[in-house]
Amino acid sequence: MNNLKVAVVGYGHLGRWHADKVKAISESELSFIVEPFAEAREKAKEAHPDCQVVANVEDIFGKVDAAIVVTPTSYHFQVVKKLLEQDIHVFCEKPMTSTVSEAKEIGEILSKKSLTFQVGHSERCHQIWERREEYSNFFEFSPVARINRVAPFKGRATDVDVVQDLMIHDIDLLLYLFKEKPISLSSRGFKIRTDKWDHVSTDFNFSSGLKANITVSRNHVKEMRNLEVTNHCGTLFFDLFENKLLVGKGEEQSDFVKEIPYEKRDHLLIEQQRFYNSILKGDEIFVDYDAGLSAVVLIEKVLESLESGKEILL
C-alpha cells in the first residue's frame, strides 16, 4: 500500500484543518469528506472540488483505507464503531468517546481487529517535550504542577462541558509527562454561559507525592495555555501559547529567569503523519487506545466529583 485513501468525517472548524493536512501529506489522498449538514457540504465542495463530499458515513464503506473523525464528541462513539466494524483505520479527535462504557466497547472491537486506532491528543506534539530529560529533576521529588487552559467564550463545542472540551488535553498531558496515574481527585466548577460546566478546577493527588491542579475555562477574559512545575530545583513555566519555556533554577550562579523559545509546530500535520506511518510502516501508534481510555476514565471521575462535590478515590 503506497497511498492511503482517507476520509475526513466532519467538516466543522477542526475538520477543515484536518482536510487540508490530508492533502499536504504525500502518503494520503483526500478521497471523501462526510458532512451531514448541507451548508457545510457546500463549503467542503468549494474548498475540495476533487474530493467526493457525502452526507452519511455509510457512503464511504469499502472505499477508503482510513478515516479521521472530527465530529462533535457526542457522535464519536457511533461513528468510530461503524468505521472499525468496516475494517477502516481510525484517527479520532479527543476525547475518544463521551463515556467509559463507550470507550470499552471500542476496545472490545479493536481486540478482534488488526487496525491502527489513534486518538488526537495534540498537546504531545510540542517540541519542548523532546527536551524533558534535560529538566528531569523538576519532574521528580514530589513537585507541584499547575496547568491552565482558559479562553474567552467562542461558542464552539457546547454539546459537551469544558472538561471534555478542554481539560481532556491537559489530563492526557499530565499522564504523559509524569508517567503515573493519580490516586484521588477533587473538583469545583461553575456553569456560567451554558447549562454545562464552563469553568472547572481539579486537584489531583499521586502516590509519589506529586500534586497537580488543572484549571480550564471557556468563559475567561483572555486566552492562556501554560504548565508550571515547581520543586526544590526551582520552577519550569511552559507557555504553550507563546511556545517558550521560562526556567527559574535554585542555583546561586544561575540567571534569575532564563527564557528558552522553542519551535512552533503544525500539530495536526504531525499527528496525521504519525497515523499514516503506523499504518504503512508499522510504527508505534502515537497516542493509542489505552492512552485514550485513561483520559476518558479521568474525565468521568472529574465529572463525578463536580456533581457530588466530593473527593473521588481512584
| pLDDT tens for each residue of the chain, 314 residues long | 568 999 999 999 999 999 999 999 999 999 999 999 999 999 999 999 999 999 999 999 999 999 999 999 999 999 999 999 999 999 999 999 999 999 999 999 999 999 999 999 999 999 999 999 999 999 999 999 999 999 999 887 777 899 999 999 999 999 999 999 999 999 999 999 999 999 999 999 999 999 999 999 999 999 999 999 999 999 999 999 999 999 998 766 666 899 999 999 999 999 999 999 999 999 999 999 999 999 999 999 999 999 999 999 99
Alpha helices by DSSP H, listed for the chain, are 13-24, 38-47, 76-85, 100-110, 162, 168-178, 267-280, 289-308
Take residue 159 and report the three cell numbers written for it: 454539546
Take residue 220 and report the three cell numbers written for it: 475567561
Hey, what domains does the chain have and what are their CATH numbers?
Answer: 4-123+268-287 (3.40.50.720), 124-263+298-313 (3.30.360.10)
Q: Are 237 and 228 in contact (CB under 8 A)?
A: yes
Q: Are 217 and 182 in contact (CB under 8 A)?
A: no
DSSP, collapsed to helix, strand or coil, labels residue 282 as coil
Long-range Cβ contacts of 258-262 (<8 Å, 24+ apart): 260/128, 262/126, 262/127, 262/128, 262/131
> pTM of this prediction?
0.94
DSSP, collapsed to helix, strand or coil, labels residue 160 as coil
Query: Helix 100-110 to helix 289-308 angle, to the nearest 10 degrees?
Result: 170
Q: Which residue has the cell 461513528?
A: 79
